[in-house]
Structure formats: C-alpha cells, structure tokens
Amino acid sequence: MTRAIGLALANATRRLSAVSATPRLDAELLMAHALGVEREAMLLSLMDGPVPDAFESLLRRREAHEPVAYITGRRAFWTIDLKVGPGVLVPRPDSETLIEAALEHFGTRAPQRILDLGTGSGALLLAALSEWPSATGLGIDQSDAAIAIAEGNIRALGLAGRADVRRGYWTGGLEERFDLILCNPPYIEIRAELPRDVAEWEPEGALFAGPDGLDDYRRLAPETRRLLAPGGCACFEIGADQGAPAAALFAKEGLSVIVRRDLAGLDRCLLVTA
C-alpha cells in the first residue's frame, strides 16, 4: 500500500535535515509540486492521500542540493509568484527590503518610471509594478537566460504593456531618468565559501564581485545621479557587513545614503537620493 502523504513528509523531513535549514518546508513544497496543487491545499485536505510517484525523484534532487525553486520552477516573492530556473538568482525574502524602502520613500506618491538593473527573474521590477499600477518599468540584464525568464514572468503576470526587458551591462547606453532604481548586484567576495545550494547551482555572475564584494557598487555609484529623476531614489541590496563601505562609495559621489536593515536586523539596503 502506498504510504500516506503525512508519513512520507515526516520521512522526507528527516532525509533533508542534513541538506536544508528548512527541511519540512522543502518537503512540503516538493510534495505539493508532485501533486500539482498548492501547498496550502495539500495541508488542508490531502495529507492522508497516496504519495505520487514523482515525489521520490524530486526529493533526490533536493538531497543533491538543487534549490527547491529550480526543482519546482517557481518562487514566491513579495505579493507575486515568479517562474525561476537555472541561469537566474533565486529571489530571496531579504530582497523585499528594497521594496519596503521604496514604499516608505514615496509614501502617498507613486514613481512613474522604474529601472531594475540586473533584473534576473524580474522579481524587483515586477514586485514594484504590482505596488504602483500607474508605473512602467525597464529591466536590464546581460544574461540571455535571465531575459527569457523575466519576459515569461512579465507575460504571466499580465504586465506586457507596462514592463520591458533589454540586454545590457548595468547602465551602459541608458540616457533616460527614472523615479525609482532597484538593483540587487553581485556583492559576495570572490573567495567566500557558500552553501552548496548556491555555489553549485546559482550563476556565478550574479554572486561574486571582486576581492571585497564591492566591485559593482564602484561601477554603479558614479552613474546613479544622472539616472535619478528629481525626488526619486535608488535602492541597492548589500551584504550584511557592507553598509559602511558601500554607502561611502555613493556618498563620495555627493549622494545621500540611508542604510536600511532587513527583518533579521542586518544591513540589507542602501536608500540613495540625490
């Protein structure tokens, strides 16, 4: 007799405990994916049901440290659901700090034009557009794989008339000014040790930025002022120990900088204004 889902999840949680900091959640997400239902629906009504044949192969992929988001092909971010896959960084809750900082900056106002540098899956751009229905946006990325995934997310979320994605390297060729600039650049030191889920699966180009992790801030800081519209702001994600050195690069350009912290109390976002 096929094991009930509840029992299979308990066993899977034990197996994944050596791989993941969230083994139960991972098991539930993989089971729901194998069933073809939302996790909440599974937990509410399907726990006594039979285990789908596909679950074991999904579990083995996770035991090999493949990120859950790559296995299921999706990731929730802010208020939207995104398609993701190899070739793009997996969106993380920490990055939502940038959206929170932008919301606080604009208050009752709304940015009309949004730029997302290094857009990847389009997570930051599309989350921002979901908050401000009158805004339009542009995502820039140098990866063809990322552009394809971002374009798919734009279509899936019904934002084809409000969002565009172009191939490019950071600010090169941009002459337009934007009310809101969002950017989650690579900021990890080149020799840093990372979890296998990240090091073996996610794209290096979205992770590493020189010996001190600051190389891309050095490229972006001198370009920020000319791209910001009056009253606008730029939100850059940073590593937890980069608040002071990254902020100094923008301050050197005569920009005002506030360091925002994430829900864990760690430095996570530079809010930059002209």
Predicted TM-score (pTM) of the model is: 0.94
Task: For residue 118, give every residue at least 6 positions away whose Cβ sits within 8 Å of its Cβ, in sequence order, or none.
Answer: 140, 141, 170, 183, 184, 185, 186, 206
**Model pLDDT, residue 3:** 67
Mean pLDDT over 61-75 rounds to: 98
Domain boundaries, the chain: 5-64, 77-273
Residue 94 class from Cβ within 10 Å (0-12 exposed, 13-18 middle, 19+ buried)?
middle
Architecture category of domain 77-273 in CATH: 3-Layer(aba) Sandwich (3.40)
pLDDT band per the 50, 70, 90 thresholds, residue 269: very high
| Length in residues, the chain | 274
- Asked whether residue 2 carries a pLDDT value surpassing 60, the answer given is no
Could you read off the pLDDT of 112-132 as tens digits, one per residue? 999 999 999 999 999 999 999
